[in-house]
Amino acid sequence: MIALLQRVSAASVSVYGRDIARIGRGILALVAVEPNDGAKEVERLAERVLKYRLFSDETGRMNRDISEVGGELLLVPQFTLAADTDSGNRPSFSTAASPELGRQRFGDLVESVRRRGQNVATGEFGADMQVALVNDGPVTFLLRVKSDH
């Protein structure tokens, strides 16, 4: 699984001009599922997203996670993060999970985060979404949880 974490002061998702999710200070995570991702990868990514230290402490060092700052979380499915871009000028999506698996694992990730006590807003799987954000910093990190398969 792949997550592109962005520390934001605000973020929102709209579908067909209608707002479906909105957060204030926190993390916007764009999430992609790869073909061999299972429950183990879901749980590991949930743990990493919630424990990743993107927020500054009193000395200005990125030493605090989302729960320590009372931050909000917005998870947005984005299969294009799993694209194979190694050659040519057009991405290949053979390295992304099928839509069925992607939908299932994304839902599993949302549930895992909720079980850990974090409120979460989400984008809509398979929809043509418009994502707006104010990247704070900017601070952006790419997390990848590899399958053992």
For 104-117, how does the pLDDT look when each residue is reduced to its tens digit (9 = 90+)? Answer: 999 999 999 999 99
What is the rounded average pLDDT for all residues in the chain? 96
Q: How far apart are CA 27 and CA 140, in angstroms?
A: 10
**Known active-site residue 80:** yes
**Known active-site residue 95:** no
Q: How far apart are CA 9 and CA 24, in angstroms?
A: 6
Does the pTM surpass 0.85? The reply is yes
Question: Which residue in the list 6, 55, 59, 80 is annotated as catalytic?
Answer: 80
**Known active-site residue 78:** yes
Question: Which residue in the list 79, 118, 122, 125 is annotated as catalytic?
Answer: 79
Q: pLDDT of 58-79, one tens digit each?
A: 999 999 999 999 999 999 999 9
Domains identified in the chain and CATH numbers: 2-137 (3.50.80.10)
- Angle, to 10 degrees, between the axis of helix 99-115 and the axis of helix 39-51? 50
Question: Which residue in the list 6, 55, 78, 122 is annotated as catalytic?
Answer: 78
Q: pLDDT of 120-147, one tens digit each?
A: 999 999 999 999 999 999 999 999 998 7
Q: How far apart are CA 47 and CA 20, in angstroms?
A: 25
